[in-house]
């Protein structure tokens, strides 16, 4: 392998000749050969947005030569396009401040920029990292990446799935079926009402995620090493945040308290809590769908879901609720990630949190998985849900809990006698009521009408 010599304050290091990274990146690459989890692409892209914005802010504040700022901005555009992906090799399991990933970005920008300029124009620390520290750039990149993935990936998928559920709720509003509580038969409900509950869960999750975005809009940039802003101009943080807002089309501000911004990751705990709430609701929805579609002959079978692929390597013709299973596995992963995010955020010792890479890795994984699985679930399962009218009607006809409609007529205890007699003697509710002498057939038919039981009594 062809190599070149790079140096840092600790001495010389051999670096692959075809890579733009420098000595500090190479040291990290050699010293942290741990796992296969690379720093997420979303963080590298967020760093490119940040470094471009910082260069433009420094130039505006007369703190960086315009030619240097333009070269930095150009390389950042290359990073954002994906053209330099091969030059960011570092793993998540590195220094807890993310310093080495910050330097990886600085070195790539400097070396590629110098290649473009045809001369040694940029220094990774003095120019690309001017007015910055890893301690404020890494949390800033975290916030940018987190907000972008929530607004551009999670929320669109969530809203698409919710729209599908709302459509199904309207379409099946007239189909009356057995309700179930405690896994036991309960009073009637419409299929549309049941599905509307799922849609409302997602509407609430949408609200929770949107509420969490405000904390992510506050950026640590301008705090430098410990939050004091040492070596940065007073306006640098605000001006950089303005450029970041312009480049992303999202609203960001420089945090009013940089000491909080460097040491606390509470905003990620709060935002990931909203993702956990979404995961919990998706788990419930997916479980309901796969139970209601269970069978096809020996389960509940009240709804049909699309048959996407063979379900067994030994049982011919078997089809499984695989999309539901994918949703529930993602939900489990998100719930596990929530523990890691919370634990990482609790480790803000003194002026800096040093669990940032693992915090943002788990956060971004949760967001990516949730967005992906909601889109897949919507396209390959939920849009194809159809009722099984015959099965739904047969269960409704057999339900003993229709007797609840007789509470105002014969009282709770007599209604219970009717239900128990019907169950024990294998009778219909009507037959049991007549045999007990509590009602005649016409009176029974007047009150036990499932279509009148899916709303308040005045309905």
Query: Is 60 exceeded by the pLDDT of residue 459?
Result: no
In the three-class reduction of DSSP (H, G, I as helix; E, B as strand; rest coil), residue 177 is classed as strand
For residue 281, give both structure tokens.
């609701």
What integer best gives the mean pLDDT of the chain?
Answer: 97
Q: Given pLDDT bands bounded at 50, 70 and 90, which one contains residue 311?
A: very high
Answer yes or no: is pLDDT of 458 > 80.
no
Q: pLDDT tens, 246-297? A: 999 999 999 999 999 999 999 999 999 999 999 999 999 999 999 999 999 9
Q: State pTM to two decimals.
A: 0.97
Question: At 180, phi and psi to the nearest 5?
Answer: -140, 135
Residues 110 and 7 grouped into a single domain: yes
Q: Is residue 104 part of a domain?
A: yes
Element (DSSP H or E) covering residue 214? helix 191-217
Question: What average pLDDT does the segment 375-396 reach?
Answer: 98
- Using a pLDDT cut of 90, give the percent of the chain over it: 99
For the segment 171-186, the average pLDDT, to the nearest whole number, is 98
Cis (ω within 30 of 0) for the bond into 9?
Answer: no
Where would I find the H helices in 381-451? 389-398, 407-410, 412-424, 429-435, 441-447
Q: Which two tokens stand for residue 359?
A: 């915090």
Residue where a domain stops, chosen among 68, 95, 130: 130
With 90 as the cut, is the pLDDT of residue 448 above it?
yes
Instruction: Place 2 in a pLDDT band, splitting at 50, 70 and 90.
Output: very high
Kindly state the percentage of the chain with pLDDT values over 70: 100
Both 114 and 154 in a single domain? no
**CATH code for position 10:** 1.10.275.10
Together in a domain, 271 and 410? no
Per-residue confidence band for 136, with pLDDT thresholds at 50, 70 and 90: very high
What is the radius of gyration, based on Cα positions, of the chain? 30
The domain total for the chain is: 3
CA 138 to CA 44: how far, in whole Å? 10
Which residues are CB-neighbours of 442 under 8 A, at least 6 positions away? none
The CA–CA distances, whole Å, from 166 to 127, 159, 161, 194 equal 53, 10, 9, 11
The answer on 329 and 359 residing in a single domain is: yes
pLDDT tens digit sequence for 202-211: 999 999 999 9
Match 């409704």 to its residue by tokens: 396
Check whether residue 119 and residue 156 sit in a common domain. no
pLDDT at 49 over 60: yes
Domain extent for 356: 146-217+262-389
* Residues designated catalytic: 182, 312
Residues 212 and 284 in one domain: yes
Residues 370 and 278 placed together within one structural domain of the fold: yes
- Look at residues 105, 130, 155 and tell me which one is the last residue of a structural domain: 130
The answer to whether 287 and 328 have CB atoms below 8 angstroms apart is yes
Q: Name the β-bridge partners of 12.
A: 7
For residue 191, the model assigns a pLDDT of: 98
pLDDT at position 457 is: 78
Supply 221's token pair.
Answer: 């940039």
């Amino acid at each position: 392998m062809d190599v070149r010599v790079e140096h840092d304050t600790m001495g010389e290091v051999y670096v692959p000749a075809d890579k733009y990274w420098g000595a500090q990146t190479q040291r990290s690459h050699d010293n942290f050969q741990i796992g296969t989890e690379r720093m997420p692409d979303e963080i590298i892209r967020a760093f490119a947005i940040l470094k471009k914005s910082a260069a433009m802010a420094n130039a505006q504040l007369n703190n960086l030569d315009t030619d240097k700022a333009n070269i930095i901005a150009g390389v950042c555009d290359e990073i954002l396009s994906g053209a330099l992906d091969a030059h960011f090799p570092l793993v998540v399991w590195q220094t807890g401040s993310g310093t080495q990933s910050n330097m990886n970005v600085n070195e790539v920008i400097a070396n590629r920029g110098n290649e473009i300029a045809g001369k040694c124009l940029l220094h990774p620390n003095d120019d690309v990292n001017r007015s910055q520290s890893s301690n404020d750039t890494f949390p800033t990149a975290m916030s940018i990446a987190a907000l972008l993935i929530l607004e551009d990936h999670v929320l669109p998928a969530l809203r698409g799935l919710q729209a599908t559920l709302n459509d199904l709720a309207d379409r099946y509003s007239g189909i009356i079926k057995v309700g179930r509580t405690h896994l036991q038969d309960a009073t009637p409900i419409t299929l549309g009402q049941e599905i509307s509950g799922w849609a409302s869960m997602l509407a609430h999750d949408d609200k929770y995620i949107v509420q969490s975005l405000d904390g992510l809009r506050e950026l640590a940039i301008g705090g430098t090493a410990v939050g004091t802003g040492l070596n940065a101009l007073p306006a640098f943080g605000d001006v950089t945040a303005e450029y970041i807002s312009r480049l992303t089309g999202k609203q960001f501000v420089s945090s009013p308290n940089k000491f909080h911004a460097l040491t606390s990751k509470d905003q990620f705990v709060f935002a990931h809590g909203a993702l956990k709430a979404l995961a919990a609701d998706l788990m419930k929805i997916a479980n309901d769908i796969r139970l209601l579609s269970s069978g096809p002959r020996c389960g509940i079978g009240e709804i049909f879901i699309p048959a996407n692929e063979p379900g067994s390597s030994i049982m011919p013709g078997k089809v499984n609720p695989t999309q539901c299973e994918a949703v529930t596995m993602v939900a489990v992963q998100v719930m596990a990630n929530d523990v890691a995010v919370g634990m990482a955020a609790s480790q803000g010792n003194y002026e800096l949190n040093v669990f940032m890479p693992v915090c943002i890795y788990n956060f971004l994984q949760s967001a990516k998985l949730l967005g992906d699985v909601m889109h897949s679930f919507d396209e390959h399962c939920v849009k194809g849900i159809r009722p099984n009218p015959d099965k739904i009607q047969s269960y409704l006809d057999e339900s003993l809990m229709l007797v609840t409609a007789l509470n105002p007529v014969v009282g709770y205890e007599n209604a219970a006698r009717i239900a128990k007699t019907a169950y024990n003697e294998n009778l219909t509710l009507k037959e049991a009521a007549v045999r007990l002498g509590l009602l005649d057939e016409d009176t029974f038919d007047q009150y036990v009408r499932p279509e009148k039981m899916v709303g308040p009594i005045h309905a």
